[in-house]
Chains A and B, each alone.
Chain A
Amino acid sequence: MSDSYLRFWGVRGSYAAPHESHLGVGGNTSCVEIRSGDHLLVCDGGTGIISLGEQLMAQSELRELLVVFTHYHWDHICGLPFFQPAFSPAWKIKFFGPGDTAAEIEQRLSDQMKAPYFPVEIGTWMADIQYLDPQNRGLAHGPIDVSYYSVHHPGVTYGYHLQVAGKSVVYVSDNEVQFLKTSIAKRIHEFDADEHELLERMVSEQRCAEVSAIEGVDILIHDAQYTPHDYSRKRGWGHSCYVDTVNLAIDANVRCLYLYHHDPTYDDEQVAAIHRDCLQIICERKSTMECHIAREGMKIPL
């Protein structure tokens, strides 16, 4: 096994789903570990980060990590109050996420740890905590280069582009692909014929932006929450239909796609059916892209 790897600790979207019928895929919410030698980067602090924290406390080689948050919806931060390294003076932890200042990032993370919602505040964290000042678009954590961009989800939400061990990894947990295109289709009657060309340009601009953000990456971890049927009822909730996700990844020449942020109401068989349909789409489009279900506990060498 390479000393660089990626591991899924939480793959569910919206809320945890610890049901027997779901555990083949996993019940914990968003959390991905990226390890390169003695450097550890964690994407999101959903309930998956709790088990990661337990494992980190059981070893002694590593005492430092960076956690980057895509945004501050509960399913991405609710494991943090139970993340044991934060309560240990032996650890040094850096946090980063959307916000104009380090103080704003601290406020977003600390707001969930207040009475009456939680018994202790972040003042009880004994680790050496640092909130990174978002002055630049790029961050570096040892050999891991990190950059980020805004994605289509309520509030300010980031996608992260990581360069690690010679591989490019993009983590986009929450993103509603093709939203403007469908908005235009729904409201086309409001526009005169002479405006249609500009609308086509808008759709093209949006597609170019979506594709260029993930163009040619080795690994894409992307929101694929809904079936077409459910998306038709939940358009505007900030998540993608898997059909749009797989087509975007093919268009962008992604090497390997991991379907992520699984809907908590879908059991193992429903997620497997989504995967089979994605493979069918890839086959029909004559693409060579690999596509997998992101499963809790899955470890991928980099």
Chain B
Amino acid sequence: MQIGKPIIVLVDDSAAMRAFFEQVAAEAELAFHAYASAEESLSFLANRQPSLLFLNVMMPNKDGYSFLKELRRHELHATTPTVMISSKDYAQDRTAAKELGVLEFVAKPISKKAIRLLIEKYLGAGHHSQ
């Protein structure tokens, strides 16, 4: 059971994308952690499960698919709710994400309003303020 504020984790090498999320998180009743790479995010994800994970597909070193496959092999993240985000918008990528059990595949760009709606959709209303 989740106690306290919901925890949102974003893994994306785009500083601009992280800034979009940070602006949403600043207005919301939630804990937010952003990381620029899969490797960096393990400082959190190695031991903790977020309420919702936003994961970018194309990143240097380790792409989002490989990373989510790794995470899924661990009991802690076997069912971690995950939204895949990407500058790519191809059917093959949507299929690959679906096979990894993601909630949704969202093509960039993603507005702050869209981020708020995604959080509300998967965590329920009341975790953000307009």
A residues with CB within 8 A of B: 100, 137, 149-150, 152-156, 179-180, 183-184, 187, 190-192, 195, 198-199, 201-202, 205-206, 236, 238
Q: Is B31 an interface residue (CB 8 A)?
A: no
Do A100 and B87 touch (CB < 8 A)? no
- CB of B65 closer than 8 Å to a CB of A: yes
B residues contacting A by CB (< 8 A) are 14-17, 19-20, 58-61, 63, 65-66, 69, 87-93, 96, 107-109, 111-114
Contact partner, A190, options B19, B92, B111, Cβ 8 Å: B111
User: Cβ of B112 and Cβ of A152 under 8 Å apart?
Assistant: no
Give Cα A269 to B33, complex, Å.
55
A199 to B15, CA, bound (A): 11
Q: How far is the CA of A236 from the CA of B61 in the complex (A)?
A: 24
Alpha-carbon distance between A137 and B39 when the two chains are bound, in angstroms? 14
Minimum CB–CB distance from B70 to chain A (whole Å) comes to 8
For the A-B complex with A205-B14, A238-B90 known, give 7 more contacts whose Cβ atoms are closer than 8 Å.
A100-B66, A180-B87, A183-B89, A191-B109, A192-B113, A195-B112, A201-B16
**Which residue of B66, B92, B109 is within 8 Å of A184 (Cβ)?**
B109
Chain A residues in 8 Å Cβ range of B58: 150, 152
Cβ B108 vs Cβ A202 within 8 A:
yes
CA distance A274 to B16 in the complex (A): 35
Please state if A198 and B20 are interface contacts (CB–CB under 8 Å).
yes
Q: Which chain A residues border B60 with CB–CB below 8 Å? A: 149
Partner pick for A152 among B61, B87, B91, B111, CB 8 A cutoff: B87
Question: Which single residue of chain B is at the shortest CB-CB distance from A203?
Answer: B16
Q: A104 to B91, alpha carbons, bound, how many Å?
A: 21
Known contacts A155-B93, A156-B63; decide if A202 and B14 are in contact (CB<8 Å). yes
Please, how many angstroms separate the alpha-carbon atoms of A179 and B107 in the complex?
Answer: 11
Could you write out 13 A-B pairs with CB less than 8 Å apart?
Answer: A154-B93, A155-B93, A155-B96, A179-B87, A187-B109, A190-B109, A190-B114, A192-B111, A195-B111, A198-B19, A199-B109, A201-B19, A206-B87
Q: Which residue of B lies closest to A99 (CB)?
A: B66
**Contact between B16 and A198, CB atoms less than 8 A apart:** yes
9 A-B pairs with least C-beta separation: A154-B92, A154-B90, A201-B16, A180-B87, A202-B16, A155-B92, A198-B16, A150-B58, A184-B109
The CA-CA distance from A198 to B15 in the complex, in Å, is: 9
Residues of B within 8 A of A152 (CB): 58, 87-88
B91–A154 contact, CB under 8 A? yes
In the bound complex, CA of A202 to CA of B90 (Å): 19
Q: Is the CB of A236 within 8 A of B108?
A: no
Partner of B109, one of A153, A183, A192, A238: A183
CA distance A248 to B113 in the complex (A): 33
Given A152-B87, A238-B90, A180:B108 Cβ within 8 A? yes
A residues within 8 A CB of B16?
198-199, 201-202, 205
Assembly CA distance A195 to B89 (angstroms): 21
Contact of A195 among B15, B20, B66 (CB under 8 A): B20
